Amino acid sequence: MHKFIFTLTILLAATSCFRHSSADEQSGKGGKADSDYVVKDVDPSLFLTGDSRVKVSKVKCKLSDGTSTMCLQIESKSNPSDHEMGPWCPDHIADGPQDGGIWLNDGKVYDVDGAFITNLSSFFDDSKWQMYDSQGNVFVTKTQEDCEKAARPDVGPEYANYCVECLPSCVANITQTYRIPITPVKLSSPAGLGGNGRPGGGQGPPPDRQRGDRQSPPPNGDRPPGDRSGPGGGHGGGGHAMRGIAFNGVRFDAPAPVDAILDAYTLAPFDDAGGHINPAVGYHYHAATGKTTEIRQRDGHAPMIGYAMDGHGLYALLDENGKEPVGLDECRGHYEETRGYHYHVDAAGNNNFINCLQGAVAE
């Protein structure tokens, strides 16, 4: 059994709070919280521990700023109990939206159905896209070996125009362990995040890179069709790739590397929950689509969907009236008295959750 230990930060909150001094932040008008700001203790009961898929416990830990504290340790099989995984790739160009997953492009979410596969050459303005045969059968990876080969940064030409999917059976024995501090510790300045991908969507490779140029593999983190990051969450690009964790124990990850995926003329769809699978870390999310467990807020505020690496709460983008929060800081966070400092995730089509971290993370 593979076991990867990732450190994630969770905040201990509920009854302890500190006086906040900024009137703008108290009103929820944005800006980052001061060093004396209200925090909410993590509630372990929010995690779905009804079966063996998720286990939680409290352990001693050290944070990235040197603080010694207590963390919530979360052991997860990355097998969500609150929704089904898949489907990802349709089998035939006549298949409907229920037979495939989604693709994130330029801030929008598209159904990967048969019509989408048929239209790839127009969608990406490139005549080399042809992901189905003369009978309308879609070229789909079928085995774990196919999945692993198609996920390589130097994927061979034999997998060009393949719809890449890894199935749950490929990662049934993976267990991951995450740690998030029970009480968040604010940093003097925001910490950058690692991982690759390009928030904002999958518009194709950048202008200075042509498809087929595979001399430079993607940085550490998610590689098509998923993450190849090592223990610790794939700390490529100067910070943690992992953004947070859902209540079902599945990780919220760095933006998917859509440039690398499209460069190889492959497509690695996400399911309707915004997740897909790779052989290294199992099932994980690249978008929040409302399919995971959400904690409704009594005042109509956007629901809580999990915790960020630094222990601050992660909340959905829209409130009960369908409105986005105002005055978010550079990390997509803000402060208000009821929930303290917390983040709001990005729109699903942007292939992104949050932009940086205001708190220290567990080492």
Instruction: Report pLDDT for 197.
Output: 55
CA distances from 16 to 11, 241, 346 (A): 11, 30, 29
Q: Are 250 and 78 in contact (CB under 8 A)?
A: yes
pLDDT in tens, 270-298: 999 999 998 888 999 999 999 999 999 99
Q: What percent of the chain has pLDDT over 70?
A: 77
Q: How far apart are the first and last CA of the chain?
A: 23
Residue ranges of domains in the chain = 1-363
Distance (Å, whole) CA 84 – CA 82: 7
The answer, yes or no, to whether residue 234 has pLDDT greater than 70, is no
How many Cβ atoms from other residues are within 10 Å of residue 63's Cβ?
24
Span 43-62, average pLDDT: 96
Per the prediction, the chain carries an average pLDDT of 82
pLDDT in tens, 235-273: 334 567 899 999 999 999 999 988 888 999 999 999 999
Span 197-203, average pLDDT: 48
Reported confidence tier of residue 195, pLDDT bands at 50, 70, 90: confident
Instruction: Report pLDDT for 153.
Output: 65
Span 149-163, average pLDDT: 84
Span 326-339, average pLDDT: 93
pTM for this entry = 0.81
Instruction: Report pLDDT for 45.
Output: 94
Distance (Å, whole) CA 79 – CA 67: 32
Alpha carbon 307 to its chain centroid, in Å, reads 12
Distance (Å, whole) CA 67 – CA 361: 10
Among 25, 20, 54, 3, residue whose Cα is nearest residue 245: 54
Distance (Å, whole) CA 9 – CA 310: 4
